[in-house]
Amino acid sequence: MKLDRRRAIGALFAATSGLAAPRVFATPRKLARPAALTQALAALDRHAHRGIARDVIGLVDFTRPSRDRRFEIVDIANGRVVASYLVAHGRGSDPRNTGWVQEFSNRAGSNASSAGSYVIGDTYFGKHGRSRRLLGLDPTNSNAFDRAIVMHGADYVTPTMAAREGRIGRSLGCFAVEQHVRDEVLDRLGKGRLLFAAG
């Protein structure tokens, strides 16, 4: 069933105030690429009028290969990483399956990843199980909601594959993580928080 986009967006932004601070799950680590955090913080300020929570953000650095744990949860208060994960990029962004993003697209049917700022929405249960909706906030990812670009778990994202093949599998543009960490990621990055994809 097709969602009413306006109603979904309105509900998403209405629910972002008064969010509780998350638990800290791991010992903080240094960010892999501080320049990506600088871009993410600028995006957080740019979209401040939307009421996005400022406790933690998700940061995906698509300048790094898919074999790296390039999806980081960052504690904004001290700019430190509290967790990092493998994350897939879209087939359309890496047509030769090299493990590196070659291009981005915001076009429906491209099966590509899109760079930019996303606000995290509701959880739902779809073909990949529990997932989280995403709303693109920038011209580079403004079609994310209509393209059904979401966060979900996938069997093609594993450390074994990363070590054996030098890459993980590709999504259709979604932010796919390992199945066994799916709920952890979706809970850490709750509704109303920022996910920033640097590229």
Give the separation between CA 132 and CA 151, rounded to whole angstroms: 5
- Predicted confidence at residue 180, as pLDDT, reads 97
Residue 22 lies in a domain: no
Residue 21 lies in a domain: no
Tokens standing for 124? 């739902």
CATH number for the domain harbouring residue 186: 2.40.440.10
Tokens representing residue 33 in the block = 């690429």
In a domain, 150, yes or no: yes
Evaluate whether residue 77 is within a structural domain.
Answer: yes
Task: Compute the distance between CA of residue 127 and CA of residue 73 in angstroms, rounded to an integer.
Answer: 25
Q: How much is the pLDDT for 141?
A: 98
Residue 162 lies in a domain: yes
Number of domains in the chain: 1
What is the Cα–Cα distance from 178 to 26, expressed in whole angstroms?
Answer: 18
In b/e form, how buried is each residue of 43-81, taking b as 16+ CB within 10 angstroms? bbeebeebbbbeebbbbbbbebbbbbbbbbbbbbeeebb
pLDDT of residue 30: 66
**Which ranges of the chain have pLDDT less than 50?**
1-3, 6-9, 11-28
Quote the domain boundaries for residue 70.
5-16+27-198
